[in-house]
Amino acid sequence: MIDYVSVFIFFFAVIDPVGTIPVFIAVTSRFDDKVKRKIALQAVVAATGILLFFMIAGEVILTAIDIPLPAFVIAGGIILFIFALTMIFGESKPDEEVGLVRNDSETAIFPLAVPSLASPGAMLAAVLLTENSNFTILQQVQTAGVMISVLFIAFIFMLTASWIHRFIGSSGASIVSKVMGMILAAVATNSVLSGIKLYFSL
């Protein structure tokens, strides 16, 4: 059985449902409530499909191109760490992705599903947390369930986005994103150390 709490925190950090709220508000500002609900559903369904694809096929693709898993774990940890640093020190997720909304692609798929929900960090997490060598099929299914639960939370947040945004504001969403970045940085560091240990144990 997986550690549900740690896996949940990991996915909550990389998916960042709170940081998606300002993005969703910007994407749907011109639409009525019915269309907003449809866009939220489309975004979550698309993000779920993308992340499940990486869970199922990510390691297969690595095997096909002959990349050893420890190397991917180390590289993945480094990328996640850089991703976490951008959350902490760089432009916050809400500010960055609302900027994308101001461009031409104001759809449920971009930037709401990708990269807001199914971010590069989330795709990488989906692969790292379902390694065939470390996790059984049951554990991978459990991890997928946790990931879907985080996406469901993101869906609820989007449905109540206007109320939540009035309560915490854009600055509050940015603060939450930075806290999630700190957690993600610690997880990424642990991933690098685990990859190094796994590499030298081969």
Q: What is the DSSP letter of 129?
A: T
Average pLDDT over residues 75-90: 78
CB 163 within 8 A of CB 156: no
Tens of pLDDT along 122-168?
Answer: 888 898 899 887 899 999 999 999 999 999 999 999 999 888 877 87
Where exactly are the structural domains of the chain? 4-201
Q: What is the DSSP letter of 114?
A: I
> Structure tokens of 4?
């549900």
Angle, vertex CA 61, rays to CA 56 and CA 62, nearest 5: 110
Tens of pLDDT along 164-186?
Answer: 877 877 777 778 778 877 877 88
Angle, vertex CA 87, rays to CA 39 and CA 102, nearest 5: 40
Tens of pLDDT along 24-55?
Answer: 877 777 788 888 899 999 999 999 999 999 99
Angle, vertex CA 77, rays to CA 48 and CA 12, nearest 5: 40
pTM for the model: 0.74
